[in-house]
């Protein structure tokens, strides 16, 4: 019995030794965000051709009142600027996701080639409480195949989609490594990105939706013009809701059977690949910038990013800076907030995420210690 007690208390001692004073190492510091869970974060980038001093920033939006505040950028937060050199065409926030520790991953792409005729992408980590930024990776390429379209953490690995395929990025060194995929001929270029457990769901303008194991790299076509029924779409972004429904944002030319272009949100059955239009408008054009509603009413959908709220609503930010809530049953689009008073082309809004709270490191430590103490008591008995 004495030996069991010693082993149990030794485990507690080991638990203490594995945790720093902050609970986690500084490389993976945990943030239990002070922003209310459900807060919506979107990215906005000024057009350097329209604005004298362009700025790229993250905006926090209260989902109830629609009120906004700058989370990072516009002199909020320290660290590398989110704004690229304006002489190179400025930059656009392409994608935002939340890491396991509560921090934000932000993909920022240069709008045009830089002075060295290179394409450039940057991946930042942003503290949602302070707006402080750190640069994880600065990637340059002679072609646009290396440009990052989306990045998210799965387990302890950061995966990124590019026009050249799927890659992993070391969160400490920023080293980019191609991720080997088996089972399909090609998956490039890749755009929309979502994950569920250890499975990656990646959209391509093939057009197709791929399911890829983050563990083995085994891949299959989940939905395409030949897999599943419904409108053929090119997924620009993907999102799962809390019930496991998969939604895709994208362009379709077959939705209504008339070969017109539609921009919409589509529900995809992860089991069969079947696609159903949830909300649609005609693809806006310079002569018809508002887009005629086809399914659902409300503002135009033309956007690069969607996410889902805990109440099941689909959220999208369109080019005009309008944050929309889409009813997944009716397809109706409701304005939550006019995030920016600068309409396209003065500013472009893209990238969206809903914040979720994460446990404080001390909470995690106490939970672990409580479990081990209970084990010790049970052993003692």
Q: Distances from the Cα of 176 to the Cαs of 30, 157, 220, 293, in angstroms?
A: 24, 11, 24, 42
Three-state secondary structure call for residue 295 = strand
The answer to whether the beta carbons of residues 300 and 310 sit under 8 Å apart is: no
The answer to whether the beta carbons of residues 131 and 103 sit under 8 Å apart is: no
Return d(Cα 336, Cα 253) in angstroms, integer: 29
CA angle 212, 214, 220 (to 5 degrees): 15
The answer to whether the beta carbons of residues 125 and 137 sit under 8 Å apart is: no
Return d(Cα 122, Cα 92) in angstroms, integer: 10
Return d(Cα 104, Cα 98) in angstroms, integer: 5
296-326 burial: b if 16+ Cβ within 10 Å, else e: bebbbbbbbbbbbbeeebbbbbbbbbbbbbb
Return d(Cα 162, Cα 192) in angstroms, integer: 10
Those residues whose C-beta lies under 8 Å from the C-beta of residue 90, and which sit 6 or more positions away, are 45, 46, 47, 48, 54, 56, 83, 84, 110, 111
Return d(Cα 107, Cα 105) in angstroms, integer: 7
CA angle 243, 223, 272 (to 5 degrees): 60
264-281 burial: b if 16+ Cβ within 10 Å, else e: bbbbbbbeebebebbbbb
The answer to whether the beta carbons of residues 68 and 59 sit under 8 Å apart is: yes
pLDDT by residue, tens only, the chain of 381 residues: 444 444 444 433 333 333 333 222 233 344 445 788 899 999 988 877 777 777 889 999 999 999 999 999 878 999 999 987 655 556 788 899 999 889 999 999 876 666 566 788 899 999 999 999 999 999 887 777 778 889 999 988 999 998 888 999 999 899 999 999 999 876 667 888 999 999 999 998 778 999 999 999 999 999 998 999 998 898 989 999 989 999 999 888 666 666 567 889 999 999 999 999 999 887 655 444 455 678 999 888 877 789 999 899 999 988 778 899 999 999 999 999 998 766 566 677 789 999 987 655 444 444 444 444 444 444 444
Return d(Cα 315, Cα 298) in angstroms, integer: 13
Return d(Cα 282, Cα 294) in angstroms, integer: 7
Place of tokens 């996701």: 97
Three-state secondary structure call for residue 216 = coil
**Strands of 333-338's sheet in order across:** 303-308, 314-318, 322-326, 333-338
């Amino acid at each position: 019995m004495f030996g069991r007690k010693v082993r149990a208390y030794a485990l507690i001692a080991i638990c203490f030794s594995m945790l720093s004073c902050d609970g986690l190492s500084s490389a993976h510091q945990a943030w239990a965000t002070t922003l209310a869970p459900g807060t919506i974060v979107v990215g906005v980038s000024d057009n350097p051709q329209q604005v004298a001093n362009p700025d790229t920033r993250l905006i926090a939006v209260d989902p109830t009142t629609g009120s906004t505040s700058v989370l990072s950028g516009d002199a909020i937060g320290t660290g590398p600027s989110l704004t690229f050199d304006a002489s190179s065409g400025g930059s656009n926030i392409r994608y935002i996701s939340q890491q396991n520790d509560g921090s934000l991953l932000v993909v920022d792409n240069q709008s045009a080639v830089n002075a060295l005729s290179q394409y450039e992408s940057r991946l930042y980590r942003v503290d949602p409480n302070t707006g402080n930024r750190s640069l994880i990776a600065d990637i340059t390429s002679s072609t646009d195949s290396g440009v990052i379209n989306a990045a998210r953490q799965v387990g302890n690995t950061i995966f990124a989609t590019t026009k050249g395929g799927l890659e992993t990025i070391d969160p400490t060194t920023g080293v980019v490594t191609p991720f080997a995929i088996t089972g399909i001929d090609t998956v490039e270029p890749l755009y929309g990105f979502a994950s569920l457990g250890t499975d990656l769901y990646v959209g391509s303008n093939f057009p197709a939706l791929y399911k890829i194991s983050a563990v083995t790299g085994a891949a299959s076509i989940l939905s395409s013009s030949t897999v599943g029924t419904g409108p053929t779409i090119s997924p620009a972004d993907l999102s799962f809701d809390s019930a496991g429904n998969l939604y895709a944002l994208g362009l379709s030319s077959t939705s209504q059977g008339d070969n017109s272009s539609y921009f919409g949100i589509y529900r995809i059955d992860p089991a069969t690949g079947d696609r159903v239009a949830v909300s649609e408008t005609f693809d806006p054009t310079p002569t018809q910038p508002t887009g005629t509603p086809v399914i659902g009413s409300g503002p135009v959908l033309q956007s690069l990013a969607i996410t889902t709220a805990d109440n099941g609503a689909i959220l999208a930010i369109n080019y005009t800076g309008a944050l929309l809530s889409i009813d997944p049953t009716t397809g109706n689009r409701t304005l939550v907030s006019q995030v920016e008073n600068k309409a396209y082309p003065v500013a472009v809004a893209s990238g969206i995420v809903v914040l979720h709270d994460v446990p404080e490191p001390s909470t995690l430590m106490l939970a672990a210690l409580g479990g081990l103490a209970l084990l010790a008591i049970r052993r003692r008995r």
